Structure 1
């Protein structure tokens, strides 16, 4: 943890716990609000729920296909005037020059796929693997958005600190301007000293306005990500929970638990099943079909009848224009691509972990150096002021010494922000910046619950949540 000296705490009071700590927003609280409110995260969850339905869609090919069929036929027959409609012993009987008939039938047809070269089975397995891949992708997005909340929180803490530093600098420069004017009035100073103090004061006012504008911008970003206005933000410490002891542990944990790697591995499984499904198009297929129909004529006679049939069909693919071969080769290339992406994900995770780990170490070292620099700069500033008071230094020397203090204070704030973000980035790269790992006080979204609810549904128009 970062040890603050008494002098640094006096110069940068916002780094310490305030009297409003009860109502202050913690970094964990900000992450919990983000997890519950962020619209991008909620949209990603909805997208995953849609992907869950692919398993049900794939399983449909295993189930019977039932269709209702109705058919109606109307016919009219016209006769010539000399045409005999019906003959008898008395000659030709004519009933008119036309006849109308109307026949109808209705029934039901059921088709059941018995065997399709394991295509459906492998498509279902591919869909299941794809769901698991997208669950990991969702976890990666949750981690990314929680890290964005950390960055937004620390940006406000940094900008608030810089505003306070520049306000105090402005107060100091006003005192120096008044002192320069007083020295001029008693003949100990010059107009040049007054002008230098006025110029430095004007620059400090501009810097303060710039810092206030940066703070407002950071607050807007915070609201966009977290979904709530920032309240009493205070400087957070570096992450503690789940932080590894050394770089080797961090890399090992990242290669094991990072969701980007796990998602890529699940995608390899899905692509492998797609290859098997494509190869299944070369195998025979067997299906059964049953039909039941009732015919009705317009005379209401006993000619109405019910007919039923059942048939089995065996299809042996011989040649389909070469499309089946192209699909198999295509599926194999995509499988190879997914395997390469796994290697790419591992290398990216390893590089990110090493980068943020070294960045964290450098930031912690910078903090110690900045604290020592502030202490030395303040002692030097006091000495320059005393020497100026006895005529051994000029106002310019005082302003330069004050600028050194100001720069050191701002560097400390920036280093602290870098250290905090780097520590949480390390957890994110390891796959540990999650609700469960960080113990956030918010209900965890369980993606598997929706999947279990819909994977075996046979019918129904409403979603799980009733829409």
Structure 2
């Protein structure tokens, strides 16, 4: 199949139309995807969400750590004694209480494992967002190229029809043509002008979407991409890859693990708890204005709390957690079905686009020859102006179809990579600083205190 014909000619027209004066550098699709990876606000928001989820682990680990509270009391006491009058004195006390959990029904262990599973699920969710953003960026990139190429075709067509209107008018003035020929040429010119206006609007829309997704205006774009060499060769290979590595499936699997630990965590509330509590304090209670008496105290207690009946609330939450677990397992099956359907759809769209390119290339070649023949036949009086106009219209339509087919092929290729879970910066080799989702997690996991985030906020 000829993959470098009319499509790359149209792409060259597109890049020439949007290139900046004096700019020789060509921005590849990989460069645009790298920009989107670094700058896209949706992707950055997903990263922030993951950092927030990371904090669930130190919150769960806090169950192993002591809790310390200080206490200060200041007050006055008045007593009315009968008989004997009344008394008034000021009192003050300070104290410190330390509580250390010894056994919490395995809730700390299970809640920590639950939090870790949720973090892993959120990391896969971040990969899903990354794939969606890169797919949108690739689509926006190809839309800018294809819509600008169509504008170039529409302008070329308008120039051709301008000449046809002039020629029809000249023939009419010398008596070789009719007013009908002139009217037909002018009507087709007006239609071409309308099509050009629509194409210009589509370019503006494509450029706006590109800026939204990538974070910068398109400069000089190149239609070349190496994504085709990374595609699976068969549908079965694509389905196996998606089933084993798609982030939506992996995220659902981790959420099932989190659901299992959630059930165990709630069930732990039905078990006894053991804690150790220590108190130290000092109390001042002056009997008079000239002397102050102080009482120092210290105590250590071991406490065992055995739940007997809790009003049915814990039992209800256990049942609720089990239902949530069942839902997570169903969602895993849903994710598998969705990934399979997306892979089959993307594969079909890719193959259809490849077939459409072959047909469109043949149509362009045939219509080009047909137009040249009709023009020659018109010169010897065997064809009419309408025949030329129709031949030109068919050629332009086939050229637009070819551009659209090439665009659809590229977009379908990126959609297929996303459907099998391989449209990530690492998988397609983007030249960009990778976001390490474990960096923040490692910094906060064992943090005992501190209100400042690792990045200084």
Structure 2: how far apart are the matches of 1:10 and 1:353? 28
- 1:129 is aligned, of 110, 114, 117, to 117
2:337 maps to which of 347, 350, 372: 347
2:317 aligned with 1:327, yes or no? yes
Alignment of 1:39-438 (within 5 A): 39-78=41-80, 83-84=83-84, 97-237=85-225, 239-240=227-228, 242-298=230-286, 299=288, 303-438=293-428
In structure 1, how many angstroms separate the alpha carbons of the residues matched to 2:15 and 2:72? 79
Task: Report the CA distance between 1:22 and its aligned residue.
Answer: 4.2
Distance in 2, Cα, partners of 1:242 & 1:3: 17
Q: Is the 8 A contact 2:132 2:418 kept in 1?
A: yes
Q: Secondary structure at the match of 2:228?
A: coil
Distance in 2 between residues matched to 1:251 and 1:10, nearest whole Å: 32
Q: 1:392 to 1:284 in 2, by over 3 A?
A: same
Distance 1:76 1:16, change over 3 A: closer
- Is the 8 Å Cα contact of residues 9 and 15 (structure 1) preserved in structure 2? no
Does 2:58 correspond to 1:35? no
Secondary structure, counterpart of 2:36 in structure 1:
helix
- What are structure 2's unaligned runs of at least 5 residues? none
How far did 1:233 drift? 2.2
Distance in 1 separating the partners of 2:323 and 2:390: 65
- When normalised by structure 1's length, the TM-score is 0.92
Quote the offset at 1:297 in angstroms. Answer: 2.4
Distance 2:136 2:16 in 1: 25
- Equivalent position SS for 1:77: strand
TM-score for the superposition, normalised by structure 2: 0.94
> Mean Cα displacement is larger for which, 408-417 or 179-188?
179-188
Native 8 Å contact 2:11 2:145 kept in 1: no
CA RMSD between the two structures = 2.0
The residue matched to 1:184 in structure 2 has which SS? helix
Distance 1:306 1:224 in 2: 67
8 Å CA contact retained: 1:158, 1:235 = no
CA–CA distance in structure 2, aligned partners of residues 78 and 416 of structure 1: 98
TM superposition shift of 1:188: 1.9
In structure 1, how many angstroms separate the alpha carbons of the residues matched to 2:9 and 2:57? Answer: 61
Q: Which residue is 2:4 aligned to?
A: 4
Aligned-partner Cα distance in 2 for 1:9–1:107: 81
Q: Distance in 2 between matches of 1:409 and 1:349?
A: 34
Ranges in structure 1 where 5+ consecutive residues have no aligned partner: 85-96
Q: Is the 8 A contact 2:74 2:92 kept in 1?
A: yes
The alignment of Structure 1 onto Structure 2 pairs a total of residues equal to: 451
